[in-house]
Amino acid sequence: MRSSRRFIVAVHALAIGYTVTEDGRIFSPEGVERKCRMKGADKRYAYWDVTIRDPDDGTTRPIPVHVLQAITKFGAEAVAKAPTIRHKDGDSGNNHRDNLELGTHTENYMDRAPESRKEHALKAARVQRRLSDEDVARLRALHKAGRSGNALALEFGLSKSTVSYIVNKKTYA
């Protein structure tokens, strides 16, 4: 259930007259188009935000355009209950009403292009790696020189199957 302050401000903004066009442009209650900005370090996965004033404390908060669009399309209650808002074409910058669906995190991930999913998985694997490139080269050299998988597993603090994967270049390729 979404109950973040930003979600509450988004619901309030639409209630007081902010509107979202079918292509994702935002207009104030006075009919003035609001400027949006791309937020995110990697522009391929960045989202468009618009700043809206919080009615309770007067601060401005960045509200994702896709959240406003989803509330407009599906209603606040449905969006609040949904695990995530999907961009069907995998482009997080495309906030067209027809491009948004409510769904699971898995469905959202599968909306990405296959190359993007592979890149993301490889990046995640690199972050979790316990061995440096030098350690991998040393492990492979020791194995080639005749050291057993059991001995290498003990020496490097790995399971025997992990040593096998490294030696056979199934991981750390």
Picking from 86, 35, 23, 33, the residue whose alpha carbon sits closest to that of residue 63 is 35
Q: Which two tokens stand for residue 153?
A: 């597993």
Question: Tens digit of pLDDT per residue, the chain (173 long)?
Answer: 466 899 999 999 999 999 999 999 999 999 999 999 998 766 666 899 999 999 999 999 999 999 999 999 999 999 999 999 999 998 889 999 999 999 999 999 899 889 988 888 888 877 778 888 899 999 999 999 999 999 999 999 999 999 999 999 988 87
Q: Mind listing the domains of the chain with CATH numbers?
A: 5-113 (3.90.75.20), 129-167 (no CATH)
Give 59-85 pLDDT, tens digit per residue. 999 999 999 999 999 999 999 999 999
CA 19, 72, 42, 3 dihedral sign is positive
Q: Is 17 left (phi over 0), alpha (psi -120 to 50) or beta?
A: left
Selection from 105, 86, 83 nearest residue 94 by Cα: 86
**Over the stretch 94-110, which tens digit does the pLDDT of each residue have?**
999 999 999 999 999 89
Instruction: Identify whether the C-beta of residue 69 lies closer than 8 Å to the C-beta of residue 95.
Output: yes
